[in-house]
């Protein structure tokens, strides 16, 4: 599990990086990430835009756990 700060400038909550992928471009591939924060803000942004990782929130349920029903 990888964490970052929510990309929303009005939110400083921790966010989970759900997946990483590469989108094609004329300059080659550009790495992107998809994130979701504890306030349910969803973002898709260039990987280079990620903010430093905050400490995980104790007791937080990850998106992967939600998908598994746990």
CATH code, 31: 2.30.30
In this structure, which long-range contacts are made by residues 37-46, counting pairs with CB atoms below 8 Å and at least 24 apart in sequence? 37/6, 37/8, 37/11, 37/13, 38/13, 38/14, 39/6, 39/11, 39/13, 41/6, 41/7, 41/8, 41/11, 41/13, 41/15, 43/6, 43/7, 43/8, 43/15, 45/7
Mean residue pLDDT across the chain: 84
- Interval 9-28: pLDDT, tens: 999 899 999 999 999 988 88
State pTM to two decimals: 0.68
Give the total number of structural domains in the chain. 1
Whether 64 is in a domain gets the answer no
Q: Residues 29-54: what's their mean pLDDT? A: 90
Whether 25 is in a domain gets the answer yes
């Amino acid at each position: 599990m990888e964490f970052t700060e929510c990309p929303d400038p009005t939110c400083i909550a921790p966010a989970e990086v759900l997946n990483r992928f590469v989108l094609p471009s004329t300059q080659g591939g550009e790495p992107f990430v998809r994130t979701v924060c504890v306030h349910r803000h969803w973002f898709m942004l260039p990987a280079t835009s990620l903010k430093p990782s905050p400490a995980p929130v104790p007791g937080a349920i990850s998106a992967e756990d939600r998908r598994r029903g746990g």
